[in-house]
Amino acid sequence: ETGVTQTPRHLVMGMTNKKSLKCEQHLGHNAMYWYKQSAKKPLELMFVYNFKEQTENNSVPSRFSPECPNSSHLFLHLHTLQPEDSALYLCASSQAGLAEETQYFGPGTRLLVL
């Protein structure tokens, strides 16, 4: 248990559905991250939030929409996804978003898009 929880753990959705992934951290951190882990590809950073402000968007398609209402919660809203978006989505947090900080990861949401 790392202090970062993610729900749901598994999600199956059609291409026309709208769903949201939720991440919550209980570590008192101020930076939160979304990563995508696809089969046979490196873990890819999607978004970074620092003190609730988005500081990084790694050219992620607009069908993925992040939301960070406070430093403890991070959402990823999903809309009209494609089958190639099927992957494990990991959330992480760190103290203040500094380069040398350890990131603490959640268990991930396994997403399947049909």
Partner 1 sequence: AQSVSQHNHHVILSEAASLELGCNYSYGGTVNLFWYVQYPGQHLQLLLKYFSGDPLVKGIKGFEAEFIKSKFSFNLRKPSVQWSDTAEYFCAVNYGGSQGNLIFGKGTKLSVKP
| The binder of partner 1 chosen from 42, 59, 69, 84 (CB under 8 A) | 42
DSSP string, 8-65: -SEEEE-TT-EEEEEEEE-S--SEEEEEEE-TTS--EEEEEEETTEEEEE-S--TTEE
Does the protein bind partner 1 through residue 21 (CB under 8 A)?
Answer: no
Does the protein bind partner 1 through residue 90 (CB under 8 A)?
Answer: yes
Stretch that binds partner 1, among 14-22, 33-41, 59-67, 71-79 (CB under 8 A): 33-41
Does the protein bind partner 1 through residue 39 (CB under 8 A)?
Answer: no
Stretch that binds partner 1, among 11-19, 48-56, 64-72, 73-81 (CB under 8 A): 48-56
**Residue whose entry in the numeric block shows the structure tokens 């882990």:** 37
Residue closer to partner 1 by CB (options 43, 114) is 43
Distance CA 10, CA 76 (A): 14
| The binder of partner 1 chosen from 12, 15, 27, 43 (CB under 8 A) | 43
Positions in the binding site for partner 1 (CB under 8 A): 1-2, 4, 31, 33, 40-45, 48, 50, 55-56, 90, 92, 94, 97-107
